Structure 1
Amino acid sequence: MRPPSPSIPEKEFLYNALKESLRLDGRQFLHTRTPSLTFGPELGWVECAMGDTRVIAQVDGKMVKPLPERPFEGMITIHSEISPMASSEYEPGRPSEEEVIITRMLDKVIRRSDAVDKESLCVLAGQRVWHLRLTIHCLADAGNMLDCACLAGIVALKHFRRPEVEVIGDEVTIHAPTERAPIPLAIHHTPYCFTFAFFPDPTIRPVVDPTLLEQRLSAGLLTIALNAQREICVLQKAGGTPLAPNEISNVVRIAVGLAKDLDQLVEARLLEDWEGRHVEVR
């Protein structure tokens, strides 16, 4: 059973607060929740938290035969699942609409935008390539799981290292991490998602990174995926609220600044984790 819609008092309280330029969690309208990134002992395992929204992303790779039509490219598959403990809205064994949207968006943002150089995953043309599998586990839904899942997914790929491979003739040797240092993936760019919620009352300005209540009471969502180089990868609108071109342009301009700040945070956390691993090895 789906949970009941927000009550009338909740709805009125939220709308009145937004009209007074106040958000219930104390943030400004255009401020996101600061992401928290926790790395596991394995390379490619990341837990991302945005407020109480929590997502785990994991990358693993194996050697396979390439697709006949793409003999020089490796493969990337993305799978997402929302745990029933994330919210009472989700049921085990039955993909929810949110789960389908997250998987499709991740596919567009990460795989179709060529964030990872698939040709670099080729080991022996037409015979052996790397197949990367990105798995997203959504553990808690406190609003805006899509942005959290996209961030966890791209950070997991940047954190992942594949084993060193040696090719002599047609013989492929995969070296263990204890023999040779693993190699990071060749990543062309790092796309990030930013979701804006619009409300039926035109006097209420849009908010970025909506909470669960803001998301449920919004009249439409606009998600922009772009990188720190100001390149838009995906623009997706959900909901029936019509938006003028200048409104979309303004939202894109805001997302550009947010992407630069988020990219700096991600690179700093990755560097901090990598340096910590080197200290442990010594």
Structure 2
Amino acid sequence: MTDNASIFQRLHPKVYFERFVSANVRPDGRHFDAWRDVSANVGSVSTADGSALIRLGETTIVCGVKAEIAEPELDRPGEGFLVPNLDLPAICSPKFKPGPPTEEAQVLSDRLNEALIASDIVSLSSLCIHPGKAVWVLYVDATCINYNGNAFDAALMAMVAALKNTQLPKATFDEEYGQAICSRKTKVPLQITRTPISMSFGIFDSARIIADPTSFEEPLLDTNVSVVVDEQGDLISVTQLGLSSSGPVDTLTHCIAAAKKRRSDLEKQSFI
């Protein structure tokens, strides 16, 4: 990109983007319904009980799962805990500043928690070591190391891949001493019951549907739609953020159908 074009892009991003839209292409060369490539590196964090690194285009997120033993809640004595969190540090993008977690990171963490709980990816009852006494707490911590848009999709992929990679020490509860005892030799994989994957779309000018938006495109969008689908193609959730689209009535229907096709394509690539 020439210096003049780069300056114009920064000063007039919407006009710059509209020029590409009028030519039926996006600034990165993709069609509006095209997705960026996905790559995964699983199990590379040796200090975690499970880990994964996901690249969605240039957006890169690493996730580690750390397990601890705690007492269950009184009203749920036979259920453990799943605690997801996403960090968007200043190092990953100029848009984020040093300091406490940003509102965007907190909102994304809440949405990730909702997606994991709604999918029942790990039955909380399977995390019980002894009812009322000891359960597993799984801290699923994701950190963005390079941000180029659509962090929700990338983070959910990273969390799912890390959980699938997780193995816990075989644990029993000693009634005499009143504590859980973990084996140093035997580890047991998590019981994964469902694998949710999200596909996100942006709505530009209330009409144009854009798949997998980049960090440049995100601020220009009226609406963001995220569709979470499982391995059977069943719908887990649909979230719409931003202004209500005044475009075609079948916008959500289009996004759901496109998400299911994308999920099927990822399955064929043996990514998930």
Q: Does TM-score exceed 0.5, indicating one fold?
A: yes
Aligned residue pairs, count: 260
Determine whether 1:249 maps to 2:257: no
What does residue range 101-250 of structure 1 map to in structure 2 within 5 Å?
Answer: 101-167=107-173, 172-176=180-184, 179-180=185-186, 182-200=187-205, 202=207, 205-243=208-246, 244-250=248-254
Q: What is the one-letter code of the residue matched to 1:217?
A: L
Residue 214 of structure 1 and its aligned partner are, at CA, apart by: 1.3
Q: What is the one-letter code of the residue matched to 1:141?
A: Y
> Which residue pairs with 1:62 in the alignment?
68
Determine whether 1:46 maps to 2:52: yes
Counterparts of 1:99 and 1:233, CA distance in 2: 22
- What SS class does the counterpart of residue 206 from structure 1 fall into? strand
- What SS class does the counterpart of residue 16 from structure 1 fall into? helix
Would you say the 8 A contact 1:198–1:241 is kept in 2?
no
Counterparts of 1:201 and 1:168, CA distance in 2: 61
Gaps of 5+ in 2: 1-6
Q: With the length of structure 2 as denominator, give the TM-score of the two structures.
A: 0.87
Q: Which of 25, 29, 33 is matched with 2:36 structurally?
A: 33
Counterparts of 1:190 and 1:157, CA distance in 2: 10
Q: What is the one-letter code of the residue matched to 1:262?
A: L
Q: Could you list the per-position Cα deviations for residues 212-245 of structure 1 after superposition, in whole angstroms to 9, with x for gaps in the alignment?
A: 1111211211111121222222211112142554
Q: Could you list the per-position Cα deviations for residues 96-139 of structure 1 after superposition, in whole angstroms to 9, with x for gaps in the alignment?
A: 23212210111111124322111111111111111111111112
Q: What is the one-letter code of the residue matched to 1:259?
A: R
Residue 23 of structure 1 and its aligned partner are, at CA, apart by: 1.6
Q: Could you list the per-position Cα deviations for residues 146-194 of structure 1 after superposition, in whole angstroms to 9, with x for gaps in the alignment?
A: 1111111111111111112245656643111xx22x2111122111111
**Aligned CA distance change for structure 1 residues 127 and 255 (closer, same or farther; 3 Å):** same
Would you say the 8 A contact 1:228–1:256 is kept in 2?
no
Would you say the 8 A contact 2:79–2:125 is kept in 1?
yes
- What SS class does the counterpart of residue 141 from structure 2 fall into? strand
**Aligned CA distance change for structure 1 residues 201 and 238 (closer, same or farther; 3 Å):** closer
Residue 73 of structure 1 and its aligned partner are, at CA, apart by: 0.6
Q: What is the one-letter code of the residue matched to 2:251?
A: E
Q: With the length of structure 1 as denominator, give the TM-score of the two structures.
A: 0.85
Gaps of 5+ in 1: 271-282
> Which residue pairs with 1:80 in the alignment?
86
Counterparts of 1:174 and 1:5, CA distance in 2: 60
Would you say the 8 A contact 1:117–1:186 is kept in 2?
yes
Counterparts of 1:219 and 1:172, CA distance in 2: 51
Residue 13 of structure 1 and its aligned partner are, at CA, apart by: 2.7
